[in-house]
Structure formats: C-alpha cells, structure tokens
Amino acid sequence: LGTHRGSGLVLQGSPRTPPAAADDGGFESGAYNNSAIQTPNLDALAQRSVVFQNAFTSVSSCSPSRASILTGLPQHQNGMYGLHQDVHHFNSFDGVRSLPRLLSQARVRTGIIGKKHVGPEAVYPFDFAYTEENSSVLQVGRNITRIKALVRQFLQSQDERPFFLYVAFHDPHRCGHSQPQYGAFCEKFGNGESGMGWIPDWKPQLYRPEQVQVPHFVPDTPAARADLAAQYTTIGRMDQGIGLVLEELGHAGFRNSTLVIYTSDNGIPFPSGRTNLYRSGTAEPLLISSPEHTKRWGQVSQAFATLLDLTPTILDWFSIPYPSYSIFGTKRVQLTGKSLLPALESEQPWATAFSSQSHHEVTMYYPMRAIQHQQFRLIHNLNYKMPFPIDQDFYISPTFQDLLNRTRAGQPTHWNKTLHQYYYRDRWELFDCSRDPTESQNLAPDPRYAAIFQLLRTQLLKWQWDTGDPWVCAPDAVLEKKLSPQCRPLHNEL
C-alpha cells in the first residue's frame, strides 16, 4: 500500500494494501529470519520500516480479509462473509463506506493494480483500476513487468492530489485448482519455457525441497517440501516485483513522501494455515515505512497490530476523520481498529487482536471467533460438531493429497496432529502461545486457566456486541434485538 501525503502505497501479496500486498503470503523472507529464501527487496524495505512481529489478519480468507483491510470493519460487520467470485458471490453491504470511497471524497486519488476480489463496485470504487474485473489476473497480479508498467502509468498520470495506490500481487497464491499447467503455485508462469510465456523482468529462483524451512504446522514430508519450494519461487517473483514498484516510486520522485505498507491477507495455504484462526492462520507479515518516522527504521515492534488497523492508519496519515454513519438502523459504525502511526514513533503497549470468520467458499460454513491477548489465544468454534471444511484449492494440493494418502494407508504423516484432530475441534480452544507455540494443548477445560478463559471470553463477547456481530448469541441462543436480554436460549443441548 502506498500513500503519498504525500501519498500512500500498499503492497500486498495476493490481495491486499498499497503499495504491496501478498496473496496467501507468510513469513518466507529474510526480514522475518527465514534464511532459506532470498528476498532482497523485502529485506531492504524492512531496513526502512518498522517490522511488526505480532500482526494479525482479522479473518483467514481472501475476500473477507481484503474487505476488512479496505473498510476497517470485520467481515461480520461489513458483510463480506466469504469469497466474492463466481458461485460464492459474497459482497459487502451497500451502505459500507470503504477506504477508497472516503479517500476519493477527501480528494485523494486512488488506484488498484492486481487482485481486487471484493465488491460491489459502488462500495469499492477506484479512480485507476487494473484488476481481474478488466484484465487477466495472471497479467496484473503475477506478471511483474506488466505491474511495473501499470505503476509507471499511474504515477506519470498523477495530478496535484495526494494518492493511494494498492498493489495487490496474486503471488504466492496456489493455482493448481485454476491454472494447473503453470504448477502448484504458478511457479512456471512466465519462466520462458515452452508454453509458459516470458516475464522479462523476472529472474526465476529455483529451490530444492531439502533447502526450505518447514513451518511447525506443516507436515515435514517430501511432498510438502516440494510444495514449499514452488511457493518460494513465486515469493521470489513477488519480491522482485516489489523492487520494481519501489524503483518506479523513486523515479517519479515520490519515494521520500510516501507511506509504504507491506502485508498479506491470510495464512499460507497449508494445513492449519489459511481458513484457520490459529496463530498459524492469522499471523501476518507487516512492514510500515514512513519517510516522516525514520528513527525506528529497521526496528522490530512487539506491539499487536491487525489488518483492521490499516484503514485508521491511512486515514490518520491523510488527516481524514472517520465519518459518523450507520449501515442498518440507527446504530453508528465505530472503527475498533487504531492508527499504527504512533508505533512508528515509539513502542506501544498494544496486546490484543480479534478475529472473525464465517465462510471461505460458500459451502464452507464454519463460523469462528477468536481473541489473542498477550500470549493467550482463545478460539470459539461455533459449528464444532461438524468437521472442519477443506477448500477446493487446498484439497488438490500435493501437501494435502499426501496427507490424505498417508492417513488412509496408516503411514506416518510427520505432522503435529492427526487428520481427525484437524477435522473435529472442541467448541472452545485456549492456548498459551509462549509455552505452547504449536498450539497443541487446549487449556480451555483446565480449571487452572478458568480466570484467563473467562477474561478472554468476556473481551471477545464485548467486541462482538460492539461490532454488531449477527452470530453473537450462537450457537446455543438466538439474537432477538427487541427483547431483553437479546440472546434467547434454544435449549439445544449444546
């Protein structure tokens, strides 16, 4: 994400914010101490940024996360309950006032290049847009030469207004479900081989399975390692693309007046990653580089941040107040996120982050709500008597197919849980991430943690009420707003 106060640039890898956002990106970079992968451009950006170690998405799904980034509202409040495209067809509510709309009304020029994946258009209008709605997502999301040209076009057509540019890379999203000819992660797209096309600015970096660092929540198998090696190649393409974007910003004379944000939309597409509200599914990279806050460049912040904070941060950068309005009825919308600009000046005491998920694909109804406070994470699985759903994209991945085959054959999975444990979860899950970083020991039934369980449950419930969560009474009561109390018991034996 890039914002020029100048301006703003958000970089997101496969979905997200100006100038750069990654799509399903994780911590595969030198900036986050992964020495197995080469990401010189992200590492250089980190040296000009505050590096957040405790940043979280508010939802581990693409469209809902992007909508939350662009509204500052959780998915259950903005209406983007699941994926936007095709049969899923989720949209934000017509009355939502998104970041690009608020910026445009304040005479800030807005642009998006890459994966948009939110709607309707009236809620998310951009002055300059090259997305899957009018272009090939491979070209505007993965072809870094095309992305470079579009960034140059945007900057060369800049007028006297400040700008906000959202570069939403489609890397390193899987593509085995949609474009299998290019490999599991589209790692062959544009590599110059026969039928693959050629991206002139990309110098592919290939990795061997034995070179990768396997996250603790991913099975350590040859199949998963090969999967990660392909992912690394597409992260390398995105990293080179980020370098090109920042070069264009410098050539246009905006580098020293632009706030640059890099993040991702959700966890990586592996077991316990994307679509999960575990830390492994919600923790995100977050780099914020401000030309006006140089004293903390290169420093690491332990302060908690969430992607719900990006809209307040960008509005604060432009000195734009959040409007008073309601989506339904008379209840005024309140942002529960905060501006992150104070963390660029000095370390902040922030230690709480909330998450909310209802769907991914339309068939994947598995509502969850979660809070991380200090080292403790509490997850409420509302639909806990049903098996946890698996999305089409992940299902056909080499990692998951290998996990299925090993489980059916009774072979070792080299994973930190069984498939049965993954499918069937307790209603409440409480983890002490400082003592149990793999989130393997559920402390919710332990009476020694009753006080912390009740504290987190109370905080989570208050946030649900504050954000108008329709699921606030579920699964054992019905919300009846005109009655008192509003949660009416179902006596359904839960």
Between strands 163-169 and 487-489, the pairing is unpaired
Q: At what angle do helices 222-251 and 40-47 cross, to 10 degrees?
A: 60
Q: Are 196 and 188 in contact (CB under 8 A)?
A: yes
In this structure, the number of other CB atoms found within 10 A of the CB of residue 321 comes to 9
Q: Which of helix, strand or coil describes residue 104?
A: helix
Active site residues: 62
Residues 6+ positions from 230 with CB-CB distance below 8 Å: 183, 184, 185, 187
| Integer Cα distance of 212 and 233 in angstroms | 11
| DSSP codes, 109-138 | EEEEEE------TTTS--SEEEETTTS-HH
User: What type of residue sits at position 5?
Assistant: R
Look at the block and give the residue holding tokens 């959700």.
266
| Integer Cα distance of 126 and 166 in angstroms | 10
Q: Are 181 and 34 in contact (CB under 8 A)?
A: no
Sheet-wide strand order for 376-381:
352-357, 368-373, 376-381, 428-432
Between strands 283-289 and 50-56, the pairing is antiparallel
CA dihedral 365, 224, 237, 47 (to 10 degrees): 90
Angle at 62 between CA 59 and CA 68, to 5 degrees: 50
**Which H or E run includes 368?**
strand 368-373
331 is written with which tokens?
Answer: 């209840």
